[in-house]
Chains A and B, each alone.
Chain A
Amino acid sequence: MATIERRSPVAFPVRAVRSTKIGHWTVVQQYTNEGEGPWLIDLSHHPRWDLQDADIRRCKPFPVNVPVDPGTCTLDRGLLVNRMNRTQCSIWHLLGDTPQPPADPVCTETTDATALMALAGGKVFAITEKLTNLDLTDPGPKPPFLLQGPFCHVACQLVIAQRRDLDGTLLLACSRGYGQDMAHAILQAGEEFDLRPAGEDQWRNLLKQIQNERSERF
């Protein structure tokens, strides 16, 4: 009998060591030979929403604040809220659980609209500069911040979550249909830096780091 499964648009050409079930998703915790980084991590199973309203600052579908300026982000209790323009935010749930979807009609669930990946570790921005002419190392904005623009020719949302010189963590969301080719292009560009696919465990560690770093700063 056909099983009910949710599938990511991204499949890595490596063997999984350990996986868990989250809802109908099979999430790989760890792949073989993940190496020391940089890593490419598929986060497509993390729930995401689109929030739009003429007066967006008044919206509170989640108990977190909407960032004030377009291009800025807030990361609070595992929810990353990215201000896209005057009336719109994307919201990415980055923890491992499944939160209750908001009932507010200003929210649209968009988990399946995009592929979401994290590119993290050493020399991450040496990899990205091979794929985009967007300036991800601009010292101006402080992470986390959002850039919307072409990455490997495809319109993407890029969140620079943390950054130290060429090292750091980048979250990338592109149209789901492009997910497979995008992952392939990134892996190919990262070959010279020993970029390898990694699982959710690695992501947990990274998220902890990012959150600690942020609490230190504030």
Chain B
Amino acid sequence: MIAHVVIWPILLPLVSAIVLMFFWNQSKVQRYITVAGHGISLLASFWLALRTYSGDIITLNSGSWPAPYGIVFVADALSGTLVLLASLAAFCVSLFSVVSIGTGRASFGFFPILQFLLMGLNGSFLAGDIFNLYVWFEVIIISSFVLITLGSERAQLEGAIKYVTMNLLASIIFLTGIAILYGLLGSLNLADLSVKIAQSDDKGLINTAAILLLVGFGIKSAIFPMYFWLPASYHTPPAAVSAIFGGLLTKVGVYALIRVFSLLFIDDPFIRSTFIVLAVSSMIIGAMGALVQQNIRKIFSFLIISHIGFMIAGLGMFSTLAVIGMVFYLFHDIIVKTNAFMISGLIFKLRGSFRLENLGGLYNRYPYLSIMFALAMFSLVGTPPLSGFWPKLFLLKASFNELNWWIIGGIIAASFLTLIAVIKIWLSVFWRKHPNYVEAKKRIVWYDLPKIQKFTILLPIAILTVVSLYIGLNAAKIVEICQLIAEQITQPSLYIDAVLSNPENQP
């Protein structure tokens, strides 16, 4: 049977985007189509993810060309889950943006590009071919460029210059790595490359390609010392855009690192220890950055950097336990960071500012909202038994098994600093009395919104909070999935067999 299911999470957003482009100026119609489109994509992704949880690695040879000759799309449990989470996050952000994005941006392509972005994300997760992955990356970066500058505010443009430059540099470095791999091995298919790399005795040159991919993906995933573009730009666009960026963009980089360094470049002690050094530095430096920021979105931005470190640490250790911790953290982080940025957007709607010194008084005014915020925030911190706690537990166990003090120390320190940063937000935004409420009231749009719009803004935050609660409280289920992923990732032969020995290869 041909597994069309693999391609639907890519095609559905494409179709929605094309339809949206036909309704270019009708921003009202666009809003309905967007939500419907993301809803359908979410269902398709859910179906795909369920299929991958049976343990099969599902592949689809596009154009019927057998692997490694054609472009193959592959869904293993990792890809399946990421596609599901990306679609979920995008669905929530689309709900959020339906109300929060005004006619101006909406009639200049916001919604189609949101769909394209989701298409790019899903495509990256499903690509089984390294050049195809590159092209998907380009879809992601160009959509993110457009989204980040849409509106052309001064801050947006300033941030975008840095964002664009460093991301283009990353793409070029990635492309350079591909050139070397193709020059050496004559192949682009990931599974085929894996086989050929294992047979090759050219470790030195293959490692140069590995380093180039490490740096290219490292920039995209904002690892220390390559993260500078992130805090310079993530707080500049509308909150809906920050949310999808904060939740997913860096994670694609992490996914690419995981894929490439589990399938292609497997046992290189130098690279593994490089990962560990970078991971621990990212954890600490990112958290220190978060500690001193005054803008909520910048706090979250630096926390992204810090928390990427947790995942990279897992990649550096690469034991089964570490992989479980890493992918669990990845899943948790997508949900929680998307939610965090949406929450910051809601705070902006409620109080008219992103800066701590202009905020306050939410706890007494909106106690139930505050509790929801608190749950989301404590998940972010990793307070047990919420979602962030379990992956840390596995990472700590893994680092004990490796007798690696650095990672243990890093995780503890970064978790603590995250706690402090989040408490800082809580104290000034929620607990403190609003310092200049009368003046701020003029900027607050919340009061003028009709009830249905308020509900539409709150709904996605509630959905993600519930999902993160579910992840935390039903950790056993998630760990089962992570265990399956860890098995698939630590045994590249499974992936290779699924791709290269696919019966459809012989038409």
Whether A and B are associated in the same complex: the answer reads no
